[in-house]
C-alpha cells in the first residue's frame, strides 16, 4: 500500500527494479564524472618545490606509485586483438611501449617477428606480459585477418606484405621524417619523435622499466655514497664526437659506460684520462638494462649522426633514458624540437665544461617521472583515437 494505492506482487517487483536501475544510473554518472574530477589531483604528480631525499623517500614508499596507476587507459575498447609485425633482425626495442599499452588495456597481443635469441628482448617481453604470443613472421600472411589492428613497428620494413587485403587497420610507426609508407592512411601514422619536417602526431617509445621514483633513488644511492657518477653512451657505431664527451666535468669520479657491439680502440685513446672507462661489447638486453638502472646520466647527441640532432630521425638512447629514469644529456638544438622539461642541455658549438654531480637529486627524478607519464599518455591517446574511431 503506497498512499492508499494497493500494489500487486508484480508491480512491487517492477517498482523495486526501477528504483534499483535509477540508483545504478546515478552511481555510473558519479563514477564517470564526479569521481574522476575529485581524484585527478591525487592521481597525477604535480610540480613540487625541491624536496630533500628524506622527503621524497617518505612520499614514495615502496611501490605506492607506479605508472600503471597514474596512467589509466581511458576510453579503451574491450576484446581488441592486436598484432605487431617486424621482419627485421633489429628494432626489437620498439615492442615495449606497445606491449605496455596492450597490458594496461588487457588486449590480446601477438608478435610476428624474427627470433631475438641474440639480444634477449623476447624473454623480457614474455615476462612483462603473460597475454602475449610470439610467432614467426612467415605465418602472418595466413593469420593477419584475425586481428583488429596491426602495428608495423618500422615504417620501411621491406618484409612487410603490403599487398594483403587489409581493412584499413594498419598502424605505422614512422622512424624517419619522410613518409616512407604512403599507402597507409595518414591518420594511422605515429612518429617516434617530433620531426622537423612533415610533422605528424608522435609518441616516444618509452615505458616504465624502472617503475618508481624511490626505486631509482635507491639505485643511485651507492654511487652517491662513493662520490661517483655513472654515465652511459649507447651505440653510435664508433662515430663519437670525442671533443664533446671530453667536455664532461665533475668534482666526483666519472665512470663512463660505453655500450656497443664493437668499440674502436682509437676511441679509448682519444678519451680524457679523467674517465673511469667501462667497455660493454655485445651486452645482452638484460645486462644493458641493469647498467642503465644504476646510471644517472645518459648521453645523447655526441655522435656524428646529425639526423638525430636535426629532427629527421630518433636516437634510441632517448626512450631508454625515460624508461629507466635517467637524466638525458641532450643538445639545445635538438631539445628545441623535443621541448623536454627534464633534459640537461648543452650547446654544440661551445667548449664550456658540461658540469655533472653525483648527488641524488630527488626532484630531478620526479621531473623525469612526470614527463615520462605525459609521454606515455600521449602515445596511449593516439592509439585510443585510432582504435575508437
Residues 198-207: tens digit of each pLDDT: 999 999 999 9
Q: What is the pLDDT of residue 303?
A: 85
Look at residue 232 and tell me if it is in a domain.
Answer: yes
Are 365 and 219 found together in one domain? yes
Burial grade of 242 (CB within 10 A; 0-12, 13-18, 19 or more): middle
Tell me: pLDDT of 285 over 70: yes
Tell me: pLDDT of 374 over 70: yes
Contact 349, 332 (CB under 8 A): no
Q: Output phi, psi for 260, to 5 deg.
A: -155, 165
Q: State how far the Cα of 361 lies from the Cα of 340, in Å rounded to an integer.
A: 18
Are 228 and 312 found together in one domain? yes
Q: How many CA atoms lie within 13 A of 284 on its CB side?
A: 11
Are 241 and 347 found together in one domain? yes
Look at residue 328 and tell me if it is in a domain.
Answer: yes
Look at residue 360 and tell me if it is in a domain.
Answer: yes
Of 366 and 8, the structure prediction assigns the larger pLDDT to 366
At 147-193, the pLDDT tens digits run 999 999 999 999 999 999 998 999 999 999 999 999 999 999 999 99
- With a pLDDT cut of 90, the percent of the chain lying above it is 71
Look at residue 240 and tell me if it is in a domain.
Answer: yes
Look at residue 53 and tell me if it is in a domain.
Answer: no
Look at residue 202 and tell me if it is in a domain.
Answer: no
Look at residue 56 and tell me if it is in a domain.
Answer: no
Are 269 and 320 found together in one domain? yes
Are 237 and 155 found together in one domain? no
Residue 180's domain comprises 69-191
Q: State how far the Cα of 30 lies from the Cα of 25, in Å rounded to an integer.
A: 9
Distances (CA, A) of 30 to 24, 44, 149, 298: 10, 20, 33, 45
Dihedral sign, CA of 306, 312, 315, 320? positive
Chain-centroid distance, C-alpha 70: 14
Chain-centroid distance, C-alpha 128: 14
- Cell numbers given for 178: 619522410
Are 148 and 233 found together in one domain? no
Q: State how far the Cα of 351 lies from the Cα of 204, in Å rounded to an integer.
A: 30
Identify the band that residue 316 occupies on the pLDDT scale cut at 50, 70 and 90: very high
Q: State how far the Cα of 17 lies from the Cα of 351, in Å rounded to an integer.
A: 77
Tell me: pLDDT of 244 over 70: yes
Q: What is the pLDDT of residue 46?
A: 30
CATH code, domain with 236? 3.40.50.2000
Of 78 and 342, the structure prediction assigns the larger pLDDT to 342
Q: What is the pLDDT of residue 268?
A: 82
Q: Which residues contact 152 (CB under 8 A, 6 or more apart)?
A: 85, 160, 170, 171, 172, 173, 181, 184
Among 191, 226, 248, identify where a domain stops. Answer: 191
What is the chain's length?
389
Q: State how far the Cα of 43 lies from the Cα of 271, in Å rounded to an integer.
A: 45
CATH code, domain with 161? 3.40.50
Q: What is the pLDDT of residue 23?
A: 62
Q: What is the pLDDT of residue 64?
A: 34
Domain count, the chain: 2
Look at residue 14 and tell me if it is in a domain.
Answer: no
Tell me: pLDDT of 35 over 80: no
Are 228 and 140 found together in one domain? no
- Of 194, 190, 148, whose CA–CA distance to 173 is shortest? 190
Are 225 and 185 found together in one domain? no
| Mean pLDDT of the 130-146 span | 95
Are 76 and 171 found together in one domain? yes
Q: State how far the Cα of 236 lies from the Cα of 261, in Å rounded to an integer.
A: 10
Burial grade of 225 (CB within 10 A; 0-12, 13-18, 19 or more): exposed
Q: State how far the Cα of 192 lies from the Cα of 158, in Å rounded to an integer.
A: 19
Distances (CA, A) of 147 to 69, 151, 186, 243: 28, 10, 20, 50
At 51-94, the pLDDT tens digits run 433 343 344 433 333 444 455 555 567 789 999 999 999 999 99
Of 117 and 298, the structure prediction assigns the larger pLDDT to 298
Distances (CA, A) of 90 to 87, 117, 137, 177, 282: 9, 11, 14, 20, 14
Are 306 and 157 found together in one domain? no
Are 84 and 176 found together in one domain? yes
Q: State how far the Cα of 326 lies from the Cα of 319, in Å rounded to an integer.
A: 10
What is the pLDDT of the chain when averaged over all its residues?
86
Tell me: pLDDT of 16 over 90: no
Are 184 and 219 found together in one domain? no
Of 302 and 117, the structure prediction assigns the larger pLDDT to 302
Amino acid at each position: 500500500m503506497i498512499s492508499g494505492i494497493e500494489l500487486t506482487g508484480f508491480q512491487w517487483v517492477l517498482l523495486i527494479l526501477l528504483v534499483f536501475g535509477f540508483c545504478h544510473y546515478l552511481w555510473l554518472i558519479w563514477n564517470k564524472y564526479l569521481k574522476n574530477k575529485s581524484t585527478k589531483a591525487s592521481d597525477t604528480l604535480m610540480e613540487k618545490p625541491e624536496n630533500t631525499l628524506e622527503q621524497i623517500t617518505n612520499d614514495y614508499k615502496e611501490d605506492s606509485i607506479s605508472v600503471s596507476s597514474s596512467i589509466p587507459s581511458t576510453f579503451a575498447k574491450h576484446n581488441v586483438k592486436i598484432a605487431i609485425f617486424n621482419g627485421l633482425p633489429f628494432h626489437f626495442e620498439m615492442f615495449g611501449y606497445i606491449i605496455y599499452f596492450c597490458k594496461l588495456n588487457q588486449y590480446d597481443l601477438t608478435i610476428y617477428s624474427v627470433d631475438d635469441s641474440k639480444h634477449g628482448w623476447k624473454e623480457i617481453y614474455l615476462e612483462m606480459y603473460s597475454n602475449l604470443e610470439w610467432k614467426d613472421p612467415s605465418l602472418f600472411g595466413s593469420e593477419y585477418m584475425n586481428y583488429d589492428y596491426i602495428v608495423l613497428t618500422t615504417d620501411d620494413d621491406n618484409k612487410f606484405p603490403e599487398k594483403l587485403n587489409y581493412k584499413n587497420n594498419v598502424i605505422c610507426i614512422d622512424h624517419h621524417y619522410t613518409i616512407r609508407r604512403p599507402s597507409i592512411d595518414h591518420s594511422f601514422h605515429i612518429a617516434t619523435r617530433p620531426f622537423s619536417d612533415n610533422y605528424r602526431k608522435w609518441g616516444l617509445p618509452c615505458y616504465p622499466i624502472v617503475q618508481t621514483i624511490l626505486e631509482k633513488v635507491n639505485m643511485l644511492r651507492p654511487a652517491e655514497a662513493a662520490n661517483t657518477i655513472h654515465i652511459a653512451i649507447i651505440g653510435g657505431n664508433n662515430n663519437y664526437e670525442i671533443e664533446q664527451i671530453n667536455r664532461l666535468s665533475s668534482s666526483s669520479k666519472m665512470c663512463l659506460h660505453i655500450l656497443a657491439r664493437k668499440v674502436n680502440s682509437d676511441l679509448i685513446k682519444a678519451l680524457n684520462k679523467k674517465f673511469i672507462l667501462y667497455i660493454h661489447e655485445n651486452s645482452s638486453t638484460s645486462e644493458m638494462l641493469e647498467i642503465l638502472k644504476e646510471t644517472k646520466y645518459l648521453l645523447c647527441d655526441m655522435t656524428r649522426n646529425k639526423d638525430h640532432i636535426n629532427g629527421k630521425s630518433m636516437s634510441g638512447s632517448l626512450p631508454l633514458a625515460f624508461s629507466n629514469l635517467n637524466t638525458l644529456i641532450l643538445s639545445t638544438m635538438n631539445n628545441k624540437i623535443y621541448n623536454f622539461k627534464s633534459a640537461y642541455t648543452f650547446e654544440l658549438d661551445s667548449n664550456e665544461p658540461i658540469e655533472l654531480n653525483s648527488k641524488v637529486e630527488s626532484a630531478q627524478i620526479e621531473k623525469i617521472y612526470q614527463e615520462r607519464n605525459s609521454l606515455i599518455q600521449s602515445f596511449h591517446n593516439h592509439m585510443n583515437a585510432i582504435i575508437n574511431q
